[in-house]
Amino acid sequence: MGVYGIDLGTTNSGIAMIGPTGRPEVITGLSGAPTTPSVVLLTSATDHVVGEGARRQARLDPDNVCALVKRRIGDPEWRFVAHGQTWSAPAISALILKSLVSDAAFAGEQVQRAVITVPAYFGDEERRATIQAGTYTGIDVAGVLSEPIAAALSYGFSRLTDGLGDSTPDETVLVFDLGGGTFDATVIELADRRISVLAVDGDHQLGGADWDERIALHLSRVFCSENPDAEDPLDDSVGSQGLLIAAERAKHELTEAESTSVVVSHDGARSIITLTRTQLEDLTGGLLQRTIDLTRSCLAAARARGVERVDRVLLVGGSSRMPMVIRAIGDALQITPELADPDLAVARGAAIYGEKLEIERLVADDLRTRGRSTDPADVQESCRRVADAFGLPVAGVRRMLEISVDTVVSRGFGVLAVGRSDSVEATWLVHRNQTLPIRVRRSFGTMRADQERINLTVLEQTGHEATPRPEDAKVLIEGAITDIPPGYDAGSEVRVTFEMGFDGVLHVTAHHLNADIPLTLSAKTGATLSQSEVSRELEQVQRSRRRDR
């Protein structure tokens, strides 16, 4: 069959599939490693290197190396410029996806459809941009799935699919996901064949890379005080890349050891700097505290939904290996956290979800072809036919169909409207942590006869609280409802429907009630790139060839 699971990570990416045993398996790349660094080196206008080769090159050719692109993915203005060409974040991400797809082809797997994971706290714009990256790659994105749900699916796979659920009690799990560039805290209820996300919180500008920056800053200070005549390595791009790489290496070593030494050579000078785990923890305590604060806020939101206690804490993301993280979360929650396959759980969970979507599609197609309803006997018969066609156990197909996944809105959304004091303010239609899918309607009256258009600004919450201040919100869509037919008095009603599905992507449609016709919503700004830019980037991504270094 074939819906693959892709973890498009900030620092590392991976791809998995359901193997012949029915279990998720990670596909190893050309290098034999299960994950590929999410680093792209543009070697010319038409060639690039992805992964370890690009990472190694970062020091020598820093201006043409793009890392941590996922931190930029919701920013429609951001561009990476190399060899006279501009790349948006979805286009750079597409090169990473292309590399995973060609590695899979090397392993004999043709990837045409995939589920791509995103941090739970990603909003609409970042989710759309991730889908755009998949489209540039030429793969059909079967869905975007929140990373903690993927991790929970991977963790709970046996109980969900092996029928162990009947004997295992329901569990409330906190997924603490600290990766290279993003942090998510999610409270999930794991019941028999059901995964429900109850609350999410996080910060997609917080991750291991911030630890590296703090360490690099410290190393540069020590180096400068020991070598007052030398330049600060952070003052040029080659020096800072070198320092960041050294900082990350030292951070990894301090996960195992109490102390390490770092050699910093720059501008003809050299220092050997000792760094202890205690120093690392002092330098980065503020970052860790932020993860704990966000976790507490997520737990408070879960409590408001009736969660009295957490039974288990799953640590995912490479940065949750750090002893300071394990200790702090254990102290804060009084539960010993478990490191749950921190690098591969997300790709594996995405593959499980992909398989579920594929089975749903096959069963629905079979029912349709045979002209059957969703009557249990008909569904059972379709499960049997799908199982026979693909050599799968019928019970397995049935269980995959029965697993249900519920999730919540990661950020509230609303519209800009004139408030009571005649000032323009944000009116929230949907709040963070409301259960998905959601459909809300809002009516707008025309102000005068024969009015042709109504301006519409759709906002997304950025801060913790949904305030009426427009400055605290991000504009998702700034546009207008156009083509309102003539011949209607002032006050004729235009109904706007806001729909958000399980994937967290918002769809807005408008309808003129008196005329009973759909209206066009044209966006002036927002998540989408212009059509001409999309065509240009599509061609650029397709033309660029991967060089293996």
Buried b (16+ CB within 10 A) or exposed e, 515-539: eeeebebebeebbebeeeebeebbe
d(CA 301, CA 120): 15
Nearer to ligand AMP, 248 or 358 (CB): 248
Burial 189-210 (b: 16+ CB within 10 A, else e): bbbbbbbbbbbbbbbbebbbbb
H/E run at residue 49: strand 47-50
Contact pattern for ligand AMP over residues 10 through 49, marking x by CB under 6 A: xxx-------------------------------------
Q: Select from 128, 159, 321, 356 the one that contacts ligand AMP (CB under 6 A).
A: 321
Task: Map tokens 């209820």 to a residue.
Answer: 189
Tell me whether residue 349 or residue 414 sits nearer to ligand AMP (CB atom). 349
Residue closer to ligand AMP by CB (options 10, 64) is 10
Residue 345-374 contact track with ligand AMP, rule CB under 6 A, x = bound: ------------------------------
**Which regions of 150-203 does DSSP assign to beta strands (E)?**
171-178, 183-191, 194-203
Residues 148-187 that bind ligand AMP (CB under 6 A): 179-180
> What amino acid is encoded at 87 in this protein?
W
> What is the gyration radius of the CA atoms in the chain, in angstroms?
25
Q: Does 544 bind ligand AMP (CB under 6 A)?
A: no
Identify the H or E element spanning 461. strand 454-461
Q: H or E segment at 375? A: none
Select the residue interacting with ligand AMP from 82, 215, 294, 322 (CB under 6 A). 322
Among 5, 9, 349, 414, binds ligand AMP (CB under 6 A): 9
Compare residues 255 and 467 and give the one whose CB is closer to ligand AMP: 255
Task: Report DSSP state, residue 170.
Answer: P
Position closest to ligand AMP via CB: 208
Q: Convert residues 238-257 into a mask of x (bound to ligand AMP by CB under 6 A) and - (unbound).
A: ----------x--xx--x--
Choice between 239 and 317, CB closer to ligand AMP: 317
Residue 22 exposed, middle or buried by CB count within 10 Å (0-12, 13-18, 19+):
middle
Contact characters 186-225, ligand AMP, x per CB under 6 A: ----------------------xx----------------
Quote the CA–CA distance of 113 and 349 in Å, as a whole number.
15
Minimum Å distance from CB 12 to ligand AMP?
A: 4
Binding site for ligand AMP (CB under 6 A): 9-12, 179-180, 208-209, 248, 251-252, 255, 317-319, 321-322, 343
